[in-house]
Structure 1
Amino acid sequence: MLALCGLIFFIVFYTSPVASSALPKNERCVTAIYTAYGYLSFAAAPDVGFWETRCQNPLKVTSIYAASDVYCLPFERKAGILQLQQSCRDFGHLELIPREQLAENLTRDALRRMTIVKYLEVPREHPINTPVLLAPSYYDTVFQTIDTWEFEVWSHYAYGLLGYAFWLCILALGILQRLGHHITQSQMVQTSYRTSPGLRTLCLPVQKLCHWVQVYLVVPHPLRSNGRKVLWWTFPTRLEAIVVLAFWILSIIVCTASYRLIPNNIYWPDGQSQLLRYAADRTGILSFANIPLLWLFAGRNNIFIWATGWSFATFNLFHRHVAWIATIQAVAHTSLYLFIMYGKGRLLKKLQKPYLLWGTGATILMVLVLPLAIQWFRHRSYEIFLLIHIIFSVGLLVGCFYHTIIFSDHEYWTYLWPAVAIWSADRALRVIRLIYCNVHVRCNAGNSIQYTKSFASYDESADVIRLEVFPGSKLLCPNPGQYYYLYQPFRLTGWESHPFTLGHWFYESDYKDASPTPPLTKEDHALDVTQVPLLSDSASSESTEEIQLKRHAPRGLKLVFWIRPYDGWTRQLRDQCRCSPTQSTDSTILLEGPYGERFPLWNYESVLLVAGGTGIAAIIPYIHEHLLRTAEDPEQAASQIRDLQLVWVARQAAFIRQIAARELAPALIRDDFRASFYATGTQTSTASNSVPCMDELEIVAGRPNVESVVLAHAHAAQLSESSVAVLVCGPVALADQTRAAVQLALERGYRSIRYVEESFSW
Structure 2
Amino acid sequence: MDQSTAEWANEVLKTSLRSGERTLVISDAVSALADNPGREIPIDPKKLEYLRRLIAYILDGREIAATYNYVLLVALAVFTALHWWPRFRDARRRRTFAESHANTSAANLQKRSRLAGCLEYSRGDTCGEDAPSSSSSSTLAGAQSPGRHPKITDIDLERQPLLGRDSTHAATTPISSLSRVVESWLMYQPRPIPVINRSLPSNGTSLVVLAYICVNIFFNFYQGSLKPEYSFAFTDRAGYVFIVNLPLLYLLAAKNQPFKFLTGYSYEALNIFHRRVGELMCFEAVVHFVGMLLWNLVFTPDWLRVGDLQYFMTRRLTLLGLGAFISYESLYFTSLGTFRQRWYELFLASHVFLQVAALVFLYLHFWTARPYVLASLAIFLADRIIWRLGLKSTSVCADLDILEDGNTLRLSADWDIPRRNRRVLCGFFRQNITHGWHPMDHVFITVKSLGRTHALQAHPFTIASAAPGTESDPEGPPNHAWLSLLIRAHDGFTTDLLQHARLKSTVDVRIDGPYGSVDALEMLQIRDTAVLIAGGSGIAVVFPLLWALVHSEDYYSYGREIHLLWVIHSRSHRSWMPQERLDELEKAGVHITIPEPTAEAGRPNVDAYIEAQASQAREKGLEMGLVVSGPDNLNRTARNACARAVGRGTDIQLRIEKFGW
Bucket of the pairwise TM-score, normalised by the shorter protein:
0.7 to 0.9
* Counterpart residue number, 2:21: 23
* Counterpart residue number, 2:123: none
Map residues 406-485 of structure 1 onto 2, 5 A cutoff: 410-432=367-389, 436=392, 438=394, 452-461=396-405, 463-470=407-414, 474=418, 476-485=435-444
Q: CA deviation at 1:396?
A: 1.3
Q: 1:201 to 1:659 in 2, by over 3 A?
A: closer
Q: 1:171 to 1:634 in 2, by over 3 A?
A: closer
* Counterpart residue number, 2:635: 735
Distance (Å, rounded) in 2 between the aligned partners of 1:596 and 1:347:
51
Distance (Å, rounded) in 1 between the aligned partners of 2:175 and 2:495:
50
* Counterpart residue number, 1:252: 217
Q: 1:246 to 1:728 in 2, by over 3 A?
A: same
* Counterpart residue number, 1:711: 611
Amino acid at match of 1:667: L
Gaps of 5+ in 1: 1-17, 39-48, 61-122, 126-133, 262-270, 405-409, 439-450, 508-527, 533-548, 685-700
Q: CA deviation at 1:456?
A: 1.3
3-state SS in 2 of match to 1:411: helix
Q: 1:154 to 1:232 in 2, by over 3 A?
A: farther
Deviation track 1:526-569 (CA, whole Å, cap 9, x = no partner) reads xx6x779xxxxxxxxxxxxxxxx999423542211112222221
Q: CA deviation at 1:277?
A: 1.5
Please, what is the CA RMSD of the aligned residues? 3.6
> CA contact under 8 A between 2:567 and 2:598: conserved in structure 1?
no
> CA contact under 8 A between 1:229 and 1:235: conserved in structure 2?
no
Of residues 85, 93, 97, the one that matches 1:180 is: 85
Map residues 589-738 of structure 1 onto 2, 5 A cutoff: 589-598=509-518, 599-600=521-522, 601-629=524-552, 635-636=556-557, 640-656=558-574, 659-670=577-588, 672-680=589-597, 682=599, 701-738=601-638
* Counterpart residue number, 2:233: 278
Amino acid at match of 2:206: A
Q: 1:681 to 1:363 in 2, by over 3 A?
A: same
Amino acid at match of 1:364: I
Q: 1:166 to 1:318 in 2, by over 3 A?
A: farther
Q: 1:201 to 1:332 in 2, by over 3 A?
A: same
Of residues 316, 335, 343, the one that matches 2:290 is: 335
Amino acid at match of 1:177: L
* Counterpart residue number, 1:587: 507
> CA contact under 8 A between 2:402 and 2:410: conserved in structure 1?
yes
3-state SS in 2 of match to 1:454: strand
3-state SS in 2 of match to 1:412: helix
Deviation track 1:428-483 (CA, whole Å, cap 9, x = no partner) reads 244456x5552xxxxxxxxxxxx522111112436421110236863523221211
Map residues 180-579 of structure 1 onto 2, 5 A cutoff: 180-188=85-93, 191=96, 211-217=180-186, 219-221=187-189, 223=190, 226-227=191-192, 234-260=199-225, 272=228, 274-343=229-298, 344=305, 346-404=308-366, 410-432=367-389, 436=392, 438=394, 452-461=396-405, 463-470=407-414, 474=418, 476-490=435-449, 491-492=451-452, 493-505=454-466, 552-554=476-478, 556-579=480-503
Distance (Å, rounded) in 1 between the aligned partners of 2:254 and 2:171:
41
Distance (Å, rounded) in 1 between the aligned partners of 2:278 and 2:53:
33
3-state SS in 2 of match to 1:321: helix
Deviation track 1:617-646 (CA, whole Å, cap 9, x = no partner) reads 11111221222226xx9543xxx3521111
TM-score, normalized by length of structure 1? 0.66
Map residues 68-147 of structure 1 onto 2, 5 A cutoff: 142=48, 145-146=51-52
Gaps of 5+ in 2: 1-15, 98-161, 299-304, 419-433
Q: CA deviation at 1:150?
A: 2.4
> CA contact under 8 A between 2:441 and 2:463: conserved in structure 1?
yes
Q: 1:172 to 1:212 in 2, by over 3 A?
A: farther
Q: 1:552 to 1:709 in 2, by over 3 A?
A: farther
Distance (Å, rounded) in 2 between the aligned partners of 1:420 and 1:612:
39
Amino acid at match of 1:717: A
3-state SS in 2 of match to 1:461: coil
> CA contact under 8 A between 1:487 and 1:589: conserved in structure 2?
yes
Amino acid at match of 2:639: R
> CA contact under 8 A between 2:22 and 2:55: conserved in structure 1?
no
* Structure of greater Rg: 1
Q: 1:381 to 1:650 in 2, by over 3 A?
A: same
> CA contact under 8 A between 2:396 and 2:413: conserved in structure 1?
yes
Amino acid at match of 1:645: H
Of residues 650, 653, 656, the one that matches 1:754 is: 653
Q: CA deviation at 1:675?
A: 0.9
Q: 1:593 to 1:195 in 2, by over 3 A?
A: closer
Q: 1:209 to 1:596 in 2, by over 3 A?
A: farther
> CA contact under 8 A between 1:462 and 1:653: conserved in structure 2?
no
3-state SS in 2 of match to 1:503: coil
3-state SS in 2 of match to 1:644: strand
> CA contact under 8 A between 1:430 and 1:592: conserved in structure 2?
no
Amino acid at match of 1:735: N
Distance (Å, rounded) in 2 between the aligned partners of 1:342 and 1:147:
21
> CA contact under 8 A between 1:291 and 1:416: conserved in structure 2?
yes
* Counterpart residue number, 1:34: 28
Amino acid at match of 1:575: Q
Q: 1:506 to 1:595 in 2, by over 3 A?
A: closer
Q: CA deviation at 1:195?
A: 6.3
Distance (Å, rounded) in 2 between the aligned partners of 1:551 and 1:722:
41
Distance (Å, rounded) in 1 between the aligned partners of 2:514 and 2:209:
28
Q: 1:579 to 1:432 in 2, by over 3 A?
A: closer
Stretch deviating more after TM superposition (384-393 or 490-499): 490-499
Q: CA deviation at 1:411?
A: 3.3
Distance (Å, rounded) in 1 between the aligned partners of 2:398 and 2:176:
48
Q: CA deviation at 1:416?
A: 0.9
3-state SS in 2 of match to 1:675: strand
Q: CA deviation at 1:149?
A: 1.7
> CA contact under 8 A between 1:184 and 1:190: conserved in structure 2?
no
* Counterpart residue number, 2:3: none
3-state SS in 2 of match to 1:749: coil
* Counterpart residue number, 1:513: none
Distance (Å, rounded) in 2 between the aligned partners of 1:615 and 1:706:
15
Q: 1:384 to 1:298 in 2, by over 3 A?
A: same
3-state SS in 2 of match to 1:312: coil
Amino acid at match of 1:470: D
3-state SS in 2 of match to 1:597: coil
3-state SS in 2 of match to 1:287: helix
Q: 1:550 to 1:290 in 2, by over 3 A?
A: closer
Distance (Å, rounded) in 2 between the aligned partners of 1:19 and 1:50:
14
> CA contact under 8 A between 1:437 and 1:473: conserved in structure 2?
no
> CA contact under 8 A between 2:180 and 2:649: conserved in structure 1?
no
> CA contact under 8 A between 1:453 and 1:588: conserved in structure 2?
yes
> CA contact under 8 A between 2:529 and 2:617: conserved in structure 1?
yes
3-state SS in 2 of match to 1:587: strand
Distance (Å, rounded) in 1 between the aligned partners of 2:371 and 2:323:
20
> CA contact under 8 A between 1:606 and 1:641: conserved in structure 2?
no
* Counterpart residue number, 1:538: none
Q: 1:664 to 1:607 in 2, by over 3 A?
A: same
> CA contact under 8 A between 2:448 and 2:509: conserved in structure 1?
yes
Distance (Å, rounded) in 2 between the aligned partners of 1:617 and 1:330:
41
Q: 1:436 to 1:329 in 2, by over 3 A?
A: closer
Q: 1:374 to 1:591 in 2, by over 3 A?
A: same
3-state SS in 2 of match to 1:663: helix
> CA contact under 8 A between 2:443 and 2:463: conserved in structure 1?
yes
> CA contact under 8 A between 2:445 and 2:509: conserved in structure 1?
yes
Amino acid at match of 1:731: P
Stretch deviating more after TM superposition (652-661 or 372-381): 652-661
3-state SS in 1 of match to 2:604: coil
Amino acid at match of 2:592: A
Q: CA deviation at 1:213?
A: 4.7
Q: CA deviation at 1:723?
A: 0.9
